[in-house]
Structure 1
Amino acid sequence: MESDLVKPRILVTRRWPEAVEQELAKVYDVTFNASDTPLDQQTLAAAMGEYDVLAPTVSDRIDADVIKAGDRVKLIANYGVGFDHIALDAAHERGIAVTNTPGVLTDSTADLTMALLLMAVRRGGEGERELRSGQWTGWRPTHMLGTSLHGKVLGLVGFGRIGQATACRARAFGMKIAYYGRHPVSHKTACDLDAHYYSDFHKLLRAAHVVSLHVPGGAETRHMIDAAAIQSMRKGAYLVNTARGEVVDHDALAEALRNGHLSGAGLDVYPEEPQIPEALLGLENVVLLPHLGSATHEAREAMGRKVIANIHAWTKGQHLPDQVA
């Protein structure tokens, strides 16, 4: 807890937008990762005994060995919504609170989901590569034909904040909305979706022209989109993933893109970032982005302020607004 004489020591594992770094440094004794490269496990483990608060990102693996390496850290204030990279059980055993930053990156991630969807169905990545390589020979009626979104079914796997925000955007393109989840959503969304709920995952996959993933990572969802799930998708469908990389079996996805069962895919996340599954790199019909879901000035600053709010609450012994463990 905060002392009148000693400021809590905080380690921020990656660089934040300058404005929120300055806000944090005004109040606390903060160490920033000046190189902005991922810290190794040894450095993270050492930090557990040297700091009061650890502020990691999705690029840091805060496993049980790291958590048990020291007894000083009492708050892991994660910069991001997902927390499957943090061993929550180990944190709980050590009396360490864990927080995240929900809500503030909904719009930016939904925007990027639509960008990937549009690039995939209209072959935007292929078109740009052709043009930049000097291979474009001019307009012609049969050149690089894509698919219209109007009247097509968008199947959302997971229907939380980001899934619903994506649905609202897709509705404006004339798409029909369907979703899969454990339970139907009872509350109204910000737009009139007229969304159809599927309790059966594979029925949702069969119904959708575009499948978009909006589920958390972890053991329960690992390879949720495997070879069997992909075979359930209608021939010529598209897959979009802005959730977590491990949700998709990328070897199975690559095979479906090669053999034409799927027309295309748009991916922003990968299981072992920054490595990209080799099977995807040579395929023209997949759009690959470098984890840009929340990459707007507005979202990244808001995420930092969420972290700061959780740290402020912790130092004052107050309820943590975004506690997950």
Structure 2
Amino acid sequence: MSTLAHTMMTAARSVESGLGAPDDLDRYSYTEAPGADRVAPPAWEGVETDLGRVGRRATGSRGRGLHGQLVQQLGQMIVSGDLGADRPLVPEEIGQRFEVSRTVVRESLRVLEAKGLVSARPNVGTRVRPVSDWNLLDPDIIEWRAYGPQRDDQRRELNELRWTIEPLAARLAAGHGREDVQQRLADMVEIMGHAYAQGDALTFSRADTEFHSLLIQLAGNRMLEHLSGIVAAALQVSGGPVTACDRPGEACLTHHARIVDALAAGDAHGAETAMRQLLTVHPEVERVVPAPREH
């Protein structure tokens, strides 16, 4: 096994929360915001105020510390519908409820605005935007939708999108003889095999995600490469931890190995066919597209 493979097999699995000490926070002194025409604020009752619990899933750990965790909490609330469209988000109330500083609230709302979830306007304040304005290809939004009421729709849409992206990427990758990347793909399959034998679903999932990201990069198409984050998010949110197949298994390993072999042989058609076979192992995809025919 290569050094890369060994490193991945022995990588630490704990995710640091990144929380700061409570005494370090510049908290709000909560007061009711003035304004006779003010719309009723969001109902915060029942919301987890311990931000340390927000990052309990590996896919939710991209942002570190209170800032990243507040983005996660508010994003989940917006996507789930707990904070409806055109509802006001009052910074003072957010700061008080979650016991975070002005800076944390301000930066968190800026991140959500960049994702299309909220808009901030003078004399209007910050409000939740309609779904049509959201960046639905953002990995965070993919995750939030996948764990909310839209879970079934999100999984179906992701699988349909993967069916479009990955077979093409596999075909294109066969024309790029980068031995270093092909070796890394082979390493990921080896890791998956070891993880499957040991019943280690988490390591299997991580190696699977790396495999598919590498394959898209190997395709040599920069626009496709920008979509690799979508594929990674799709693999992480389909049931957690999950894989390109519905769960680790011999068939899943076999199809991954066939893709690697086809790439090494420069067989574009074989790589594309093997990828389509891999994707149709997933039951969600089987309801969307027919299994590929053998030629």
- Please give the TM-score of this superposition, normalised by the length of structure 1: 0.21
Pick the structure with more strand per residue.
1
- Please give the TM-score of this superposition, normalised by the length of structure 2: 0.23
Pick the structure with more helix per residue.
2
